[in-house]
Structure 1
Amino acid sequence: MVVAILMSTFNGEKYLNEQIESLVNQTYKHWNLFIRDDGSIDHTSQIITKWMRRDKRIHYIDDDSKNLKPANSFLKLLKEVEADYYFFCDQDDYWKSIKLETMLKNASNNQTIPNLVYCSLKCTDKNLVPEENDFENLMGKLSGKSRFIGNDMPGCVMMINKKLRDVAINSYTGNNIIMHDWWLALIAEVFGNIAFLDKKLIYYRQHGDNSIGAGHRGGIIRKAFHKDVFSKQEDLVRETYFQAKEFYSVFHNQLSDEWNDFLSMFIKCGSESYRYRLQFFNTYKLHESSKLRTLAYEYFFVFKLNNLLATKERD
């Protein structure tokens, strides 16, 4: 069994040593770490070189492309590396020593369909001290068609098989795709299988410089009144619509009748009345990872989608 850990770095000198150390300390030892740097100007490359000299399982994927951003950087790694199972690794988290072993024990032996397993996480401050953040309680709350309006799995909690990797690298256009992890989740939901492992196997470090993070500290109610929550919700509704449209464009010839009907109706929402969108939302019982998130998404989707799409077109 070939296990690959994929890490994309960018100016990660503050926490990179600790993250790689947590990988080296895994109870499951038969892995290889592949690192691609996205144009760091700090000491990230020196840290990578140091660890490569210490451990032959650590490899540097060198290419001339810089500033690809996380989604495209991880995609490049997926294309370069052949393995049976893949894990995505951020440069600033810290993995519990049993993460690989625990998740691999829950891997499916069926390599003929896209398979994905994901775990939970524990939010911490920059010093790995646990802190209150509702984000960690949102894992495992989505399934089925609701995955098209929300994503409850950042890449760092995922394990995917080779079949899912192969479908992803042959379908990922980069156009209107929110993040690589969300795209992978959609493929696995529609064409394969997703399993949630309710164990917090990662310390998810929040330090203010995260490329993608858990957002503001505290509970959902506190976050709901943050000044930028409405603009973010508008962005989410707009982006999920275009991502669904992209998914349909790429896979429409491979979809079952059920998924074809759902995505066709989703796309039609962009030109129909609010009554149509409300009926669509209720027919499929769409929901986000919490009741408040669901209410917010539903409001902007039902009553504002036409305007949000028009704004996108003007941009």
Structure 2
Amino acid sequence: MDIPNFLILLSTYNGEKYLAEQINSLLSQKGVNLHILIRDDGSRDTTLSVIQTYMNRYPQIIRCLEGQNVGAKCSFFELIEFAAGLHEHYDYFAFCDQDDVWKENKLSRAAELLSKEDPNKPLMYCSSTQMVDSDLHALNVWPRSPRKALTVYNALVENVAVGCTTVLNGKGLETLTSSLPCHRNQVIMHDWWAYLGISTLGRVIFDSEPFILYRQHSSNVLGGQTDNWITKWRKRFKRYFKGQNHYILSTQAKEFLACFKSELDHETLRDIEDFIKGTSGNLLRRVSYALRTPFYRQSRADHGILKLIIILGKV
């Protein structure tokens, strides 16, 4: 069996504290060939110095693009776009955050599971993570294995793919880059977009075994999954009543249609269009749609919240 070739897409921003530990874990991956493509998102600390040190040691493996600060989402989209012309040179493409630690068989595990599928089909691997504190002490495993199918009917309304665990095959990357979103502010996050695209046009594989130490610390751009359920729901309601999450699902659905409408089968196209219409109509239409929507979230509680926000007209 040939050794799989990986391109790791790593976005950095003011990551001097943990970046070396992460890069060391990437370089320690077993059973794969890899290159690391870094995009620095306008760091103002010593992140670029750390990267330069590793580039000097591993000039054939590590490359860095220096960019302006556009935020994690757009930084990853720029990496995805840059990688578009490279999909013939690599078997797999892996998203990577700057502050985690990967177990040495993370990539070989992804390659093992993806290699069992049809390589001509868009494929995506994602997994649970071993959440740890800033000193890598174990917290809990998150997320748990999804209970329901990983299809567009979940991906349009919920993201189960943790970006730092995500691996795409060449066809998966090609699918995403064939029609990148023109309005990236309409996209919730790059990993959600990948989950939505591949679950619709290909196949998503979820691995319940964690191969990444997902560090939780005060400087995380995203995180917070260590909260207990009371704190978690309090934060959700606070964000909702501040209007932070209003219309994000329908807005992303519209952008997805703009990109991939011609690629969708009749049933999927009809159901997404019904979602957009049903969630934006009058109260009677919204209630009717909430009762019959084919879209679902994984947990019963989250699915109930979905129906509620449809009725409230804030999807």
After TM superposition, the score normalised by the length of structure 1 is 0.87
C-alpha contact (below 8 Å) 1:233/1:296 kept by paired residues:
no
Corresponding residue for residue 188 of structure 1: 198
Q: Give 1:189's aligned amino acid.
A: S
Corresponding residue for residue 3 of structure 1: 6
SS in structure 2 at match of 1:19: helix
d(CA) in 2 for partners of 1:263, 1:227: 25
SS in structure 2 at match of 1:131: strand
Shift of 1:117: 1.2
Corresponding residue for residue 62 of structure 1: 65
SS in structure 2 at match of 1:253: helix
Shift of 1:187: 1.1
Shift of 1:61: 2.9
CA 1:41–1:231 in structure 2 vs 1: closer, same or farther (change >3 Å)?
Answer: same
Residues 1:205 and 2:215 aligned together: yes
Corresponding residue for residue 51 of structure 1: 54
Residues 1:243 and 2:252 aligned together: yes
Residues 1:121 and 2:118 aligned together: no
Q: Give 2:112's aligned amino acid.
A: K
Structure 1 residue aligned with 2:40, among 34, 37, 40?
37
Shift of 1:190: 1.1
C-alpha contact (below 8 Å) 1:138/1:290 kept by paired residues:
no
d(CA) in 2 for partners of 1:290, 1:237: 21
d(CA) in 1 for partners of 2:279, 2:296: 19
Shift of 1:284: 3.9
CA 1:237–1:247 in structure 2 vs 1: closer, same or farther (change >3 Å)?
Answer: same
CA 1:141–1:205 in structure 2 vs 1: closer, same or farther (change >3 Å)?
Answer: farther
Corresponding residue for residue 312 of structure 1: none
Q: How does 1:292-303 map to 2 (within 5 A)?
A: 292-303=301-312
C-alpha contact (below 8 Å) 1:233/1:297 kept by paired residues:
no
Q: Structure 1 stretch 52-61 or stretch 235-244: which is displaced more?
A: 52-61
Q: What is the identity percentage for the equivalent residue pairs of Structure 1 and Structure 2?
A: 29
Q: CA RMSD in A?
A: 2.3
d(CA) in 2 for partners of 1:275, 1:225: 29
Residues 1:100 and 2:116 aligned together: no
C-alpha contact (below 8 Å) 1:123/1:130 kept by paired residues:
yes
Residues 1:263 and 2:282 aligned together: no
CA 1:111–1:29 in structure 2 vs 1: closer, same or farther (change >3 Å)?
Answer: closer
Residues 1:148 and 2:150 aligned together: no
SS in structure 2 at match of 1:297: helix
Residues 1:163 and 2:165 aligned together: no
d(CA) in 2 for partners of 1:14, 1:238: 36
d(CA) in 2 for partners of 1:21, 1:250: 37
Corresponding residue for residue 72 of structure 1: 74
d(CA) in 2 for partners of 1:138, 1:46: 37
CA 1:289–1:126 in structure 2 vs 1: closer, same or farther (change >3 Å)?
Answer: farther
SS in structure 1 at match of 2:94: strand
Q: Give 2:54's aligned amino acid.
A: W
CA 1:268–1:292 in structure 2 vs 1: closer, same or farther (change >3 Å)?
Answer: same
d(CA) in 1 for partners of 2:308, 2:122: 33
d(CA) in 1 for partners of 2:298, 2:242: 14
Shift of 1:137: 3.0
d(CA) in 2 for partners of 1:84, 1:280: 42
Structure 1 residue aligned with 2:143, among 130, 137, 140?
137
Q: Give 1:80's aligned amino acid.
A: F
Q: Give 1:89's aligned amino acid.
A: C
CA 1:246–1:271 in structure 2 vs 1: closer, same or farther (change >3 Å)?
Answer: same
C-alpha contact (below 8 Å) 2:127/2:162 kept by paired residues:
no
d(CA) in 2 for partners of 1:118, 1:138: 12
Structure 2 residue aligned with 1:110, among 118, 134, 138?
118
C-alpha contact (below 8 Å) 1:122/1:130 kept by paired residues:
yes
C-alpha contact (below 8 Å) 2:280/2:286 kept by paired residues:
no
SS in structure 1 at match of 2:313: helix
After TM superposition, the score normalised by the length of structure 2 is 0.87
Structure 1: stretches of 5+ with no match in the other structure: 309-315
